[in-house]
Structures are given as structure tokens and as C-alpha cells.
Amino acid sequence: MKTAPNFEFEARSPKPVCGVDEVGRGPWAGPVTAAAVILDPANIPAGLNDSKKLSMVRREVLFAEIMTSSVVCVASASVQEIDRINILQATFLAMRRAIDGLAIKPEFALIDGNKIPPDLPCEARAIVKGDARSLSIAAASIIAKVTRDRLMCDLSATYPGYGWETNMGYGTKAHQAGLATLGVTPHHRVSFKPIHKMLC
């Protein structure tokens, strides 16, 4: 029986504690985006879960509830930064920026995944599948995904033909077809093998 995220990790951590998650490591286009969230224990939105397990409509509802009830910061690392320092280091950079940007400085960070970014401003713990185990990380996953999805939809209006409004920059057949007919945009990650091969 699968369990929903809970507040156990937060309860055992120094306060205030933030959850941190990212979205956009795998796409061929667009930034990698991270969110850091400090939940109010007395006002946690109902139904928080891994963003991938929620419908788009439900994510949007929870996004609004988290933004009004919690301390939130969203940050990104650009395509240029991804190409310069690689996707893992760019992900760490986005996470650090999100934590640094919180209006309340956390004493502890719960990081989704198995790696802790270097040079964080606080102590941290990495939690594998954290977005399905920690409410704070689940909240961060929702904020990061909704924010990045909105950005990719906006970019698709300027660069139509790649299907970014539905594939969010991932290498789907529609995205591949767009690349074949329209070429590479400034928002493509040229260090990623499929894009690099087209340019070389």
C-alpha cells in the first residue's frame, strides 16, 4: 500500500526547514527550475503529493494554496548555464538560488534525490523519492513544475512548432519534428547530445 507524503522529516529537522525540488533536468530546451518551500505546520494545503502524480488542474489549485500559505522561492539556471557547467551543476545552482532567495532563512533543507548541492547556506539531507515522502518537498515539486510548465507554454507562443506547450521541452516526436523543419532555437541546450549532433 502506497503512502502519501507526511511531515515526519520536517518534525525531526531543525526549524525552520525547507523542502527543495527541481524540474527540467531531462528536456532538450528551457531552463532547469528549482523551488524551496517552508510550509506553515498549522496551514498545510490538503492533498500535497509528488507533482507527477497530480493532474494539471490539481497542481494549479495547490500552487495557489502553497503560494498564499507558505514561504516560497523559485529559481532557475539558464540554458547558457546548463551548457557551460553541465546539467547536474546547473541543477545544484538553481537549488542554491531557491534556498538563498527565501524570505525566511532555513536552518535545514530537505533535498529531493540522492545528492546534496555544495555550498548550501544551511545543513541539508537528501531524500530519495522525497517528493513522495516529504510534504515540503512535494510542495516544492508542485511549485517548480507549475512555474516551469507556464514558462515553456509562454516560450511555445514565441517559438511555435516544437510542441513545448505539451512536451515542456522533452525530446518527443513533435519536438524532434520541429527541430528537423525549424532548426535549433536559443532556448535549446546545445550541450545535450541530440542538439549537439544537429549543430555538428
197 and 171 in contact (C-beta within 8 Å)?
no
Query: What is residue 2's predicted lDDT score, i.e. its pLDDT?
Result: 61
Q: How far apart are CA 99 and CA 122, in angstroms?
A: 9
Residue 173 confidence (pLDDT) above 60: yes
Beta-bridge partner residues of 32: 77
Dihedral pair phi/psi, residue 125, rounded to 5°: -135, 135
So where are the chain's domains?
A: 8-148
Average pLDDT over the chain, rounded to an integer: 97
3-state DSSP of 75-113: EEECHHHHHHHCHHHHHHHHHHHHHHCCCCCCCEEEEEC
User: 95: closest CA among 9, 24, 149?
Assistant: 24
What CATH number labels 8-148?
A: 3.30.420.10
Q: How far apart are CA 142 and CA 23, in angstroms?
A: 9
- pLDDT above 90 covers a percentage of the chain that reads 96
pTM recorded for the entire structure: 0.96
pLDDT digits (tens, 9 = 90+) for 154-172: 999 999 999 999 999 999 9
Query: What is residue 1's predicted lDDT score, i.e. its pLDDT?
Result: 42
**Residue 200 — pLDDT band, cuts 50, 70, 90?**
confident
Question: What would the mean pLDDT of 27-34 be, rounded to a whole number?
Answer: 98
Sheet bearing 17-23, strands edge to edge: 71-77, 32-38, 17-23, 108-112, 123-127
Length of the chain: 200
pLDDT digits (tens, 9 = 90+) for 57-91: 999 999 999 999 999 999 999 999 999 999 999 99
